[in-house]
A and B are shown apart, each in its own frame.
Chain A
Amino acid sequence: MKDNGESFVTEDGRTIGEVMLDLRDITLRFGGVEAIKSISFDIREGEIRAIIGPNGAGKSSMLNVISGFYIPQDGEVWFHGKKRAPLKPYQVARQGIARTFQNIALFEGMTVLDNIMTGRLNYTKSGLLAQAIWKGKAEREETENREKVERVIDFLEIQAIRKTPVGRLPYGLKKRVELARALAAEPKLLLLDEPMAGMNVEEKEDMSRFILDVNDEFGTTIALIEHDMGVVMDLSDRVVVMDYGKKIGDGTPDEVRNNQAVIDAYLGVAHED
């Protein structure tokens, strides 16, 4: 592991930037239950960071802390070198952190296009009156937003379903639309909560490719939770391992794979022979 500050090159030759998000001694309690016990780790610019662990390890809670859905009782969140005050989820989103959900949170009644357009709401600067008065400016903004959205639609290959109400889509496509909405916001940091849960092999391959492409083409930093170990090892630059709310491992996929604590807690089955 490298220290804070300077960028470095990973084993497979990818350059990872400075620390973007730094979590320090985060503790989260629900009543008497400690879901997260004093965990620290960082996310660096341009990397794909995976959070893994058995069910109930506190991975989703961790993502919810980052995106502002949960406020930790203890600990600090540093974003771009500044300590972050406790923020509401919408404020976090406005800072350039977009996310998807484990159980998909889409606007079921809207079309795919409208759903993705909501990702651009924060780029619509013209207020209510301005939109009524300076029609020209509002129209220019609208065109720009549409162009960005179209680019995302092309990128994720969902042109065919753009006018379909989301409620009618199959699960795998919904996941992709949710990713598209997050991408439309042009986030600096993208949080993906089990982006491949419940998908078949082919869909998983597609999704993995999209995640890599997003990281590659838009330079988006990505933090993801995933259960499929093969996928995690292939995709991520660095991995955090959690178990019962504690951090038990942190490092490159290779380091984590060979970490005895991780093997015991998570990969124990594979080690039984």
Chain B
Amino acid sequence: MSADFLYGIEVVLNGLMAGVMYALVALGFVLIFKASGIFNFAQGVMALFAALTLVGIMEGQVPFAHIINATFGTELHHFGWEVPAILAITCTVGVMILFAWAVQRFLFRHLVGQEPIILFMATIGLAYFLEGMGDLMWGSDIKTLALGLPQGGSRWIEDATAGLGGDDFYGFFIDKLDMVATVVAIVLVAGLIAFSQYTKHGRAMRAVADDHQAALSVGISLNFIWILVWSLAGFVALVAGIMWGAKSGVQFSLSLIALKALPVLMLGGFTSIPGAIVGGLIIGVGEKLFEYLVGPMVGGATENWFAYVLALLFLVFRPQGLFGEKIIERV
């Protein structure tokens, strides 16, 4: 096999794993949109907030330390303990559930029956509120997420594959963190699917996603389901926050991963969980391959725009995405 071909395979593999990371973010969007028709602009900030909270709890930071110190003239910063990762993750999940409840109680409960654009605007407000809240609670400096996840290229895979090509080929470079992310994403998606197929609340969730009125008439509380869905989206945001945070540090730019999820949603459709996965993979592989094959001819940096152009093409030719429900307007 020629080295070029093998490099091509490596590009595809890395693309697939980058795609998994995109899919993780897109998944949160799909969950909320499907159940409530709300396009949640705050999904990216939720990932940031979850990651900030996780780091804060692990390092034993005092939440709202700045406000407390400014008000009472104290010098509090740390509790002086460190919380084990598992416990900290559990606490963060609790915080995200609390957040889901608050969003429902104080925001969307008052907006039932409003136009989608108004709900969308509300999530923009929510995004900025949550961003400020994250700053206020945990401070605005860049943090590292020390969960002990493996980092860097896998030597083992590199050595094992080095012999495949000629002298020009040094073996596949696969990031260990990407591999972990892939496994986590698979478990997460399998869990979500099992939940929605086999549990009472999962079924109720599907029912609400399908028809609100009918759901009410069989005794499903929309309010409860929406809190549940936002909690799940919060959990997905936490997972995305952990993976992206471990990759590039926990900082404000983390919230911008939401922008990368948009083209994924255009491709996969806003209402399909498998669509989010496949859309993420296509974007991941597409942009890496495009950069590898076409990038050198146009001066590189195609990864910045490739996903959006692809999404634009989809909007023109298949607006409902690959798996989305076809929009048919009866006259």
Closest-CB distance, A87 to chain B (whole angstroms):
11
Residues of chain B with a CB closer than 8 A to A100's CB: 217
> In this assembly, does B117 line the interface, its C-beta being within 8 Å of a C-beta of chain A?
no
* B198 and chain A: residue at smallest CB distance: A131
Contact status of A124 and B200, CB under 8 A, knowing A67-B217, A93-B216, A185-B218 = yes
Q: Are B220 and A90 in contact (CB under 8 A)?
A: yes
Kindly supply a per-residue 1/0 record for chain B positions 296-331, scoring 1 wherever the CB is within 8 Å of any chain A CB and 0 otherwise: 000000000000000000000000000001000000
- Between B200, B203, B219, the greatest number of chain A beta carbons within 10 A of the residue's beta carbon is seen for B219
Contact status of A108 and B219, CB under 8 A, knowing A124-B200, A131-B199 = no
> In this assembly, does B87 line the interface, its C-beta being within 8 Å of a C-beta of chain A?
no
Per DSSP, are chain B's interface residues mostly helix, strand or loop, or mixed?
A: helix
Residues of chain A with a CB closer than 8 A to B218's CB: 93, 98, 118-119, 121-122, 181, 185
Q: Are B200 and A89 in contact (CB under 8 A)?
A: no
Interface members, chain A 29-78 (any B CB < 8 Å): 67, 69
> In this assembly, does B66 line the interface, its C-beta being within 8 Å of a C-beta of chain A?
no
Q: Are B200 and A131 in contact (CB under 8 A)?
A: yes
> In this assembly, does B51 line the interface, its C-beta being within 8 Å of a C-beta of chain A?
no
Kindly supply a per-residue 1/0 record for chain A positions 81-118, scoring 1 wherever the CB is within 8 Å of any chain B CB and 0 otherwise: 00000001111011000111100011111100010011
> In this assembly, does A126 line the interface, its C-beta being within 8 Å of a C-beta of chain B?
yes
Query: On chain B, which size bracket covers the interface?
Result: 20 to 34
Contact status of A99 and B217, CB under 8 A, knowing A109-B210, A121-B203 = yes
> In this assembly, does A128 line the interface, its C-beta being within 8 Å of a C-beta of chain B?
yes
Q: A121 to B219, alpha carbons, bound, how many Å?
A: 8
Q: Are A101 and B200 in contact (CB under 8 A)?
A: no
Q: A109 to B218, alpha carbons, bound, how many Å?
A: 16
Q: Within the complex, which residue of A93, A94, A121 is in contact with B204, where a contact is CB–CB below 8 Å?
A: A121
Closest-CB distance, A93 to chain B (whole angstroms):
3
Closest-CB distance, A187 to chain B (whole angstroms):
10
Contact status of A69 and B219, CB under 8 A, knowing A110-B210, A131-B200 = no
Residues of chain B with a CB closer than 8 A to A127's CB: 200-201
Q: Are B216 and A69 in contact (CB under 8 A)?
A: yes
Contact status of A93 and B219, CB under 8 A, knowing A117-B203, A121-B203, A124-B200 = yes
Q: Within the complex, which residue of A93, A108, A110 is in contact with B217, where a contact is CB–CB below 8 Å?
A: A93
Residues of chain A with a CB closer than 8 A to B210's CB: 107-110
Kindly supply a per-residue 1/0 record for chain B positions 5-40, scoring 1 wherever the CB is within 8 Å of any chain A CB and 0 otherwise: 000000000000000000000000000000000000
* B213 and chain A: residue at smallest CB distance: A105
Q: A91 to B206, alpha carbons, bound, how many Å?
A: 19
* A129 and chain B: residue at smallest CB distance: B199
Q: Are A89 and B217 in contact (CB under 8 A)?
A: yes
Q: Are A107 and B214 in contact (CB under 8 A)?
A: yes
Q: A162 to B20, alpha carbons, bound, how many Å?
A: 37
* B195 and chain A: residue at smallest CB distance: A128
Interface members, chain B 218-261 (any A CB < 8 Å): 218-222
Residues of chain A with a CB closer than 8 A to B201's CB: 127-128
* A184 and chain B: residue at smallest CB distance: B218
Q: A190 to B284, alpha carbons, bound, how many Å?
A: 52
Closest-CB distance, B328 to chain A (whole angstroms):
11
Interface members, chain B 168-217 (any A CB < 8 Å): 198-201, 203-204, 206-207, 210-211, 213-217
Residues of chain B with a CB closer than 8 A to A121's CB: 200, 203-204, 207, 218-220
* A119 and chain B: residue at smallest CB distance: B218
Closest-CB distance, B97 to chain A (whole angstroms):
13
Q: Are A118 and B207 in contact (CB under 8 A)?
A: yes
Please report A residues at the B interface, Cβ cutoff 8 Å: 67, 69, 88-91, 93-94, 98-101, 105-110, 114, 117-119, 121-122, 124, 126-128, 131, 181-182, 185
What are 26 A-B interface contacts by the 8 Å CB criterion? A67-B217, A89-B216, A91-B219, A91-B221, A93-B216, A93-B217, A93-B219, A94-B219, A98-B217, A98-B218, A99-B217, A105-B213, A105-B217, A106-B214, A107-B206, A107-B214, A109-B210, A109-B325, A117-B203, A118-B203, A121-B200, A121-B207, A121-B219, A128-B200, A131-B198, A131-B200
**The 5 nearest A-B residue pairs measured at CB:** A93-B219, A105-B214, A107-B210, A89-B216, A124-B200
Beyond A88-B221, A108-B210, A118-B215, 17 extra complex contacts between A and B, CB < 8 Å: A89-B217, A90-B222, A93-B216, A93-B218, A93-B219, A98-B218, A107-B206, A110-B207, A110-B210, A114-B203, A118-B204, A118-B207, A121-B200, A126-B200, A127-B201, A128-B200, A128-B201
